[in-house]
Amino acid sequence: MAHKFSKQQSVNGKIVGEYFVRSPVKKGLFFASDDWQSTRPSNQFLLGDMMKFEVSVKQFHHVPLRVMLDSCVATVIPNIDTVPRYAFLGNNGCLFDSQLTDSSSQFLPRSNEDRLQFQVEAFKFQQDERGVVRLKYRTLPVLYKTIAVF
């Protein structure tokens, strides 16, 4: 059974240190191809497939930014406060889905500071037979120089 996924963007300016980041900074989340080189041509997945996500921020004339993903919530309708819902990423970027037993969900090592890649196993809501999942996410571009590396 194939499941169709759609996305919604929630893009708001964020205060980062002394800088206010807003347009023309462009942010986006998309499904990546299996080799991570392009956008996936389809937004349909089979249960158990790995959904590969990439979120990026396009920098124009800004100081160097690192993109972070604060949260990502799946619902069956465009309302984030609805039930059922599944917050598979939250708490300032923790990938909750990766903590499940036998989960292959994970962040990939960064190749660029302005891109973040992660994968989550495809799922469906048991209470819903439509097989459509909508994603609402929030990105946080932060100044690259202010990030402490541990």
Domains in the chain (CATH in brackets) are 2-146 (2.60.40.4100)
Q: What percent of the chain has pLDDT above 90?
A: 15
Please state the rounded mean pLDDT for residues 24-45: 82
CA proximity to 132, closest of 3, 41, 29: 3
pLDDT of residue 108: 94
pLDDT of residue 17: 31
pLDDT over threshold 60, residue 102: yes
pLDDT of residue 123: 86
Q: Is the peptide bond before 109 cis (omega within 30 degrees of 0)?
A: no
Backbone Cα Rg of the chain: 16
